[in-house]
Structure 1
Amino acid sequence: MFKLHHWFEQMWWRPSPPPLWLRVVEALYSGISQIHLNRRAANITTPALPMISVGNITAGGSAKTPFVLWLAEQLKAQGYRPVILCRGDGGQNRSGKRVSRDDQAAYVGDEAKMLADLSNCPVISAADRIAASQMAAELGDILILDDGFQYRHMQRCCDIVLIPVEGIGNGHGIPAGPLREPVQALARADIIIRTGSTSNKQLCEKLGDWHEWQWLTAPLDIIDLMKTGIPTPKHVYAVTAIARPERFFNDLTSSGLSLIGTKAYPDHYAFSASDVSDILKLGEHIAITAKDAVKLQSLWPKERPLWLLPQQGHAEAELLSTIQHYLPQRKNPAASDRVS
């Protein structure tokens, strides 16, 4: 299964055309998907709170979750009280649930757990995001919908689409390529942002006449989640279960670390105790991402270090004020309502 997943991902991001049989399946999938999206748009509802949607047109690897964390932090600094809505991919929960620090990633989803742990904002994980938006009405004053560009059931005041700096791969739709929708769908977006790492700033050519903002992440020094007191290593073995894992590997090397080896699991992979036993055999110092940490830390032996590579987001000037321009005017919040 891992090899098949790796083959598809490599094929998607190569410049060469995919096999003919996949292009036939692509045409069928695209037609069915468009009918589904149009039905969603025909039954649109208005959530109780103003909503910012953060999404993409490619499958994974566009830094949605780190961007949502950054956006929530920036809005809080402006006095807003954001509530984050997410689907809970990779989790067993199917009903609406406010995520707590005691919840397991296997139940609420790895990204939902990561958002709850790091954002200090209410996070609701639910497959039915309309119901989730109703739950959020008493928890804040603005919604951030994670992975919402194709979720056209709900009205939004700002539609943000993230595109990897590397572009759209081979330009084909799922399953022949990474595109969830044709590039022309970007006409629905209010703000288009290129995302990537400061270790890879090379942009592919623009996809249209619209303005493309930049939002890049920079790796910080690795930290030991288990707090073993072991000195920071110079050599690590990189293990991750994210889309586009090569970004993580590049960030490790750009931060001055040497890679002994790498192992990539499929995105949203649910690590087991058996997996941890296998990973521990790879090397003394294992490096992971924040998304992996919410699944691995509880399974990790306390005497072994587990090295997290934190990331810090950097926005192009005026991006935040441009996002705020789309938000409805509000009364100045009372000082007691402000969140520092």
Structure 2
Amino acid sequence: MGRLLVFLLLPFSWLYAGVLAVRNWLYDAGWKKSEAFAVPLLGVGNLRVGGTGKTPHVIWLVEELLRQGHRPAILSRGYGRQTTGPRLAGLQDSAATVGDEPWQYFEHFAPQNVPVAAAEKRGLGVRLLLQMHPDTSIIVLDDAYQHRAVRPTLNVLLTEYARPFYEDQVLPAGRLRESRGGARRADVVIVTKCPPDLSAALQGTVQQGIVCYGRPNVPVLFSKYEYGTPQPFAKTLKLKEGEVLPASPPTPPVGAALLLTGIAQPQPLREYIEGQGYTVRYHARLPDHHAFQQKDLEALRAHWQPGWPIFTTEKDATRLHAAALQPALAGLPIYTIPVRVAFLGTGAAELRQLLPGAPAVASSI
């Protein structure tokens, strides 16, 4: 966005920020109700619209809670789904009914029986989870930083290293959902997508920018992405009864490749793929949470040549499972690239210390 356009949009940003500031004041003063629950709520969110890495951080937290003996559940808004109201994810669901992120969580944590729900009103979602899974000992709230109607026990704020909130403006002049002062509600700030070799001096510079807006002595941690081995999208794709297409090769050959994404910030993934020796001949870069259509895959196929792997993300793959897309996917060697989080320095140990302790009944199981 050009500087002149940003300048022209600033009055609208100030107006929007003022409305949100009044809303936040009403919650802070107790005029608007913020509900607490018997189980701890662990909120994960950001000030910026999209692209800070909430999904892999939620996965890291849930895996850590499982290791500590908790019985965690995950509650998300379910952005982009075709249903409304609180909904508990089940085998009959898909990305279309619960949202791509909740469905990714459901598939990832199915072996551990971690309940996953979607709800626009988080209070209703919490009640649904506790009603259907009364043994739940903690609930992780995905993307609920601005949802003040529920009160997290621990509020985790994410901000991207390349686009820190303290250098951004409120919508529409920038990408912030609220003013920078919203960082005061954070109990811990995680700077995401950092270079693995980020120096202590640069970490200190980022920390100074954050503490100008957050509460004093709030921990500032730094995390990076780690990409896993590409996985075939499906062992087989069935077009109709009795017809089975051959599976993709277990390891995609290095060389020319295509990239298909519908996420907010696909550039780090592209840089990783190119760093592995692939040449991205075509990148189908679609909006975040995009509901893939047959025409999208037809356009992708038009750029594809036999032998070229097609890479995508785990979140995007949840939307490719739609039955209507299977004919368009026929014969395309699609691979998903897992994305996981690792912390720099002692960040993981510091975050573990902030997590609520597992109840004795859970830790004894």
Q: TM-score, normalised by structure 2?
A: 0.81
What residue in structure 2 maps to residue 177 of structure 1?
A: 174
Distance 1:334 1:200, change over 3 A: closer
8 A contact 1:252–1:309 mirrored in 2 = no
What residue in structure 1 maps to residue 315 of structure 2?
A: 291
Residue 139 of structure 1: how far off its partner (Å): 5.0
- Unaligned runs of 5+ residues in structure 2 are 212-217, 236-246
Give the counterpart letter for 2:73 in structure 1: V
2: CA distance between counterparts of 1:335 and 1:220?
30
- Unaligned runs of 5+ residues in structure 1 are 1-10
1: CA distance between counterparts of 2:45 and 2:271?
24
Cα RMSD for the two superposed structures: 2.4
| Aligned counterpart for 1:130 among listed residues 120, 123, 126 | 123
* Aligned pairs, number: 324
1: CA distance between counterparts of 2:34 and 2:68?
29
What residue in structure 2 maps to residue 190 of structure 1?
A: 187
What residue in structure 1 maps to residue 63 of structure 2?
A: 73
1: CA distance between counterparts of 2:42 and 2:225?
21
Residue 239 of structure 1: how far off its partner (Å): 1.4
| Aligned counterpart for 1:239 among listed residues 227, 235, 260 | 260
Give the counterpart letter for 2:231 in structure 1: I
1: CA distance between counterparts of 2:22 and 2:192?
29
Distance 1:219 1:166, change over 3 A: same
Distance 1:65 1:329, change over 3 A: closer
8 A contact 2:312–2:334 mirrored in 1 = yes
1: CA distance between counterparts of 2:88 and 2:299?
33
What residue in structure 1 maps to residue 335 of structure 2?
A: 307
1: CA distance between counterparts of 2:225 and 2:312?
16
After superposition, the C-alpha distances for 1:173-231 in whole angstroms (9 at most, x for unaligned) are: 11111112222221221110111165795867332335420121111222221331435
1: CA distance between counterparts of 2:362 and 2:125?
27
8 A contact 1:220–1:310 mirrored in 2 = yes
2: CA distance between counterparts of 1:237 and 1:257?
9
What residue in structure 2 maps to residue 64 of structure 1?
A: 54
Residue 336 of structure 1: how far off its partner (Å): 6.2
Larger Rg: 2
Give the counterpart letter for 2:184 in structure 1: A
What residue in structure 1 maps to residue 95 of structure 2?
A: 105
Residue 117 of structure 1: how far off its partner (Å): 1.2
8 A contact 2:98–2:117 mirrored in 1 = no
1: CA distance between counterparts of 2:168 and 2:63?
33
Query: For structure 1, which segment, 213-222 or 197-206, has the greater mean C-alpha deviation from structure 2 after superposition?
Result: 197-206
Q: Secondary structure at the match of 1:127?
A: coil
8 A contact 2:41–2:141 mirrored in 1 = yes
2: CA distance between counterparts of 1:114 and 1:253?
25
Q: TM-score, normalised by structure 1?
A: 0.87
Distance 1:239 1:97, change over 3 A: same
What residue in structure 1 maps to residue 13 of structure 2?
A: 26
Distance 1:59 1:39, change over 3 A: same
